[in-house]
Amino acid sequence: MGSLDFELTIAGIAYGVLLIAATFVNNRFIEAFRLDGIFMRNPTPATRNINLVAGLAIIGYNVYTLL
């Protein structure tokens, strides 16, 4: 795996962790990265679970690419 590939994979894992944190933590920095806040017109606390599912999927894919 090339150096850039490895760095992008680690960045993907970090973004997945950030999305999972966005599900449970209210923070101005983390709120900017929420997927439901980016793609939905009216994000609500009920739509925060999208971040958990997406974060787990992103982490899973990136860990798979490391193997």
Q: What ranges do the domains of the chain cover?
A: 3-66
* Euclidean distance between CA atoms 33 and 9, whole angstroms: 18
Average pLDDT value for residue range 22-51: 90
Residue 34 has pLDDT above 80, yes or no: yes
- Cα–Cα distance for residue pair 56/31, rounded to 1 Å: 18
**55 or 38: which leads in pLDDT:** 55
Helix (H, G, I), strand (E, B) or coil at 61: helix
Q: pTM of the prediction?
A: 0.86
Asked whether the predicted pLDDT for residue 60 surpasses 90, the reply is yes
